[in-house]
Amino acid sequence: MAVRIVLLGRLADMAGTGELEMPAPLEWAGLLAALPDDLAAEVSGERIRLALDGQVLAAKEDLQAQDGSEVALLPPVSGG
C-alpha cells in the first residue's frame, strides 16, 4: 500500500528526485515526518500547495491520501 509523492520545481531539486513513495494511508503530519528536515520546512511554508489526485487542497491539513493516491507538492510558479 503506497502513496506516490510528486515533487515539482525546486522541491524536486532539494529532494534529488521528482518522485517519492510513502506508505498509505498518509496525512499531512505523516508526510512532514517522512520528509528530510530541510524539505519538510520548505513544504510547510504557505506558498507551497498540495494536490491530491489532481485536486488542489484548500488546506494542507485536509490531506488524506489512500493506497494508490498521488500527492503533488506544488511550489509557486515563476516565469521568465
Average pLDDT on 51-78 reads 95
For position 41, what pLDDT does the model report?
Answer: 96
pLDDT digits (tens, 9 = 90+) for 71-80: 999 998 765 5
In the three-class reduction of DSSP (H, G, I as helix; E, B as strand; rest coil), residue 77 is classed as coil
The answer to whether 49 and 74 have CB atoms below 8 angstroms apart is: yes
User: What is the C-alpha to C-alpha distance for residues 24 and 37, in angstroms, rounded to an integer?
Assistant: 21
For position 70, what pLDDT does the model report?
Answer: 98
- Tell me the whole-structure pTM to 2 decimals: 0.92
pLDDT digits (tens, 9 = 90+) for 29-55: 999 999 999 999 999 999 999 999 999
- Outline where the chain has alpha helix (H): 10-15, 28-34, 37-44
Assess whether pLDDT exceeds 90 at residue 16.
yes
The answer to whether 77 and 49 have CB atoms below 8 angstroms apart is: no
Assess whether pLDDT exceeds 90 at residue 67.
yes
Half-sphere exposure of 17 (CA within 13 A, CB side): 8
Please, what are the domains in the chain?
2-74 (3.10.20.30)
